[in-house]
Amino acid sequence: MSNKPPELELPQADLFLNRELSLLEFNRRVLEQAKDASVPLLERLKFLCISSSNLDEFFEIRVAGLQQMAELNPMQRGADGMTPGETLAAISKRTHELVEEQYRVFNDEVIPALEQERIRFLRRSEWTPDQDAWLKTYFQNELMPVLSPIGLDPAHPFPRILNKSLNFIVQLSGKDAFGRNTGFAIVQAPRALPRLIQIPSEVAGTGPHDFVFLSSVIHAYVDDLFPGMEARGCYQFRLTRNSDLLVDEEEVKDLMEALEGELSQRQWGDIVRLEVAHNCPEGLWQYLMDVAQLTPADVYQVNGPVNLHRLMAIPDMVDRPELKYAPYTPRVPKALSGTDVFAAIRERDHLLHHPYDSFMPVVDFLRHAARDPKVLAIKQTLYRTGDKSAVVEALIEAARNGKEVTVVVELRARFDEEANIDLAEQLQDVGAHVVYGVVGYKTHAKMSLVVRREDTAPSAPGAAAGAGLRHYAHLGTGNYHPRTARLYTDYGLFTADPQICKDVHAVFLQLTSLGKVTKLHRLLQSPFTLAKAMHAKIDREIANARAGKPARIIAKMNALVEPEIIQALYRASQAGVRVDLIIRGMCCLRPGVPGLSEQIHVRSIVGRFLEHHRVNYFENGGDPELYLSSADWMERNLFRRVEVAFPVLDKKLRERVMAHLDAYLAGTAQSWVLQPDGSYQRPAAAGGDRKPVQLQFMEDG
């Protein structure tokens, strides 16, 4: 395909927004939630923590990858026309601004608001004598025994620093017992130590929720670690390392064994960022920068704890329900709450909209299958499941009950590799067949298939009834993860449609066996048919628009990056097709450009729940098609992963999803609209803002 739509010639940089900068814009929208006074206070603190955690992963994966690209192929340009070096320079500028804003929000907005609610982070200058005494005892009894300060001299070189760990560089004066006066030491804080210490309320002058940062305690009593010497300065710092795992899947004989070897090295990848206290003298942070082999662009001086994400513990430590989101209990659809879930699915398809609908029907589906003597086999994909997963427990029970259980475990789910290795071993121990998908392709499809022997109706008048096999499937846009199903928005479809179930079975055969690509009847699958089908459906909307027929595209997903899909949407806009995109995170399409994308509108929804479902709607000349999918429109999803998109065939269910999309497009309270320059603005509220769309779903279903 052409790099540019034929109808309009524009420079490459004008066609696509930079994906990394777009991702930083998403993190900026997350940070905006921490400023929003309508959000409960402790939830604002959580959003601040999430923005910090997101930025950590951004450096560990995206920045680390770009730095490698800059070394290997510095002149290679992306779809946006930028080289790796140019992108890194732009990232440094944006992230320094973002980090400065994070700490401004923390110091000037969140901390004062928490103090008004008697939730305090006590500075050393604010400690009462009784608090000082209690903290000194705590330091001597709980901290000193596990701290190992390392003096820097030829016999004690700079220590190896764990990824994202809390450390201190200490300036010393005086001589030690051996007459040494090197002047510097490093103190590493083990991860087992709490980063927040709550002072007991019985200590005089202490409120109900008074906390002290671990860094403040170490600063206060660091002299005790160096007897007879004086600590003239103590400054916290943190190093971020490349955390991507590199496994040559063509060479390894056992993927699990190879990953286990790589996991032990994850904490020691190349250093990509230095965070250091804002008051650290220039000579000291430059010394740390040189040791880490970084440049000033990689250094972030912060006015507060170097890891804001550790504050995520506060909401659990503070029992103040009025400062949190009101508890929400998801609905359990009545039709799926009975004792015969298979009869309910035989009768009609059922759609779950998480987290507004409970995830329990999915767990119950597998539990019923595990215990039903008529069930012969269960096939399941697992990408992320969480700890002590009820889904995994049901599969283990099924295997113990003699069912044929086949599980495709994606070992390479980023940052869940260790957990997935563990669950794979649990399943193997009870006799389940466990495979890791296809070499070179992550298995990201969300599918469950149950094979059940049932009595069948007579095939003709007078014929005898018999017994046959019937298939039941669940397909989803999100993971089989009960906890995130309460936090992420996703769809799940139960169906006994013979063609969909046959397709699901065919995909499982591809994942567990060998053979040619199987023709699918209902499902679209990457890396084979999904991208081609999306292009064909977009082209059909273009043809319909030119023929004067109804034409419209609505797509909701996490990220839109793939250049050829973006070009196809540009052509649709130029043909007069209205294109509405609801993109939570990265979007490289540039909307609203005259002559190119005037008919394309992009919005992002950020709220209590993480918008996660993927929906593709095509007007199709008045005969609408609607697909739910596990795939975003990214190169990796369309060409380097096993994904499925599945149609919603039931008209009522299709109308329900369309009502959801309409609500997303009409609301303004949680919405951000993408501008042609890549920035986002809140839309104007017409006639008074409506309630947030997620709240609508919580109340209305």
Query: What is the set of active-site residues?
Result: 444
Which phi and psi (to 5°) does residue 247 adopt?
-130, 125
User: Residue written as tokens 């550790």?
Assistant: 310
Provide the 3-class DSSP secondary structure of residue 517.
coil
SS3 182: coil
Strands 600-605 and 578-583: parallel
User: What is the DSSP track for 317-331?
Assistant: H---GGGSPPP---B
Per the CB < 8 A criterion, the answer to whether 423 and 408 are in contact is no
Residue environment code for 104-132, b if the CB has 16+ CB neighbours within 10 A, otherwise e: ebbeeebbebbeeeebbbbeeeebeeebe
C-alpha distance across the termini of the chain, in Å: 42
Give the distance from CA 366 to its chain's centroid: 26
Residue corresponding to tokens 């990689």: 298
The DSSP symbol for 682 reads: P
Q: Kindly report the CA angle at 82 between 77 and 88, in degrees rounded to 5?
A: 110
For 364, half-sphere exposure in the C-beta direction (CA atoms, 13 angstrom radius) is 17
The two beta strands, 680-681 and 671-674, are: antiparallel
358: helix, strand or coil: coil
Q: Could you give the angle at which helices 64-72 and 84-104 cross, rounded to 10 degrees?
A: 160
Tell me the two tokens of residue 626. 């609607």
Helix (H) or strand (E) holding 631: none
The C-alpha R_g of the chain, in whole angstroms, comes to 28
Q: Which residues sit opposite 231 in a β-bridge?
A: 172
How far apart CA 671 and CA 654 sit, in angstroms, is 24
SS3 241: strand
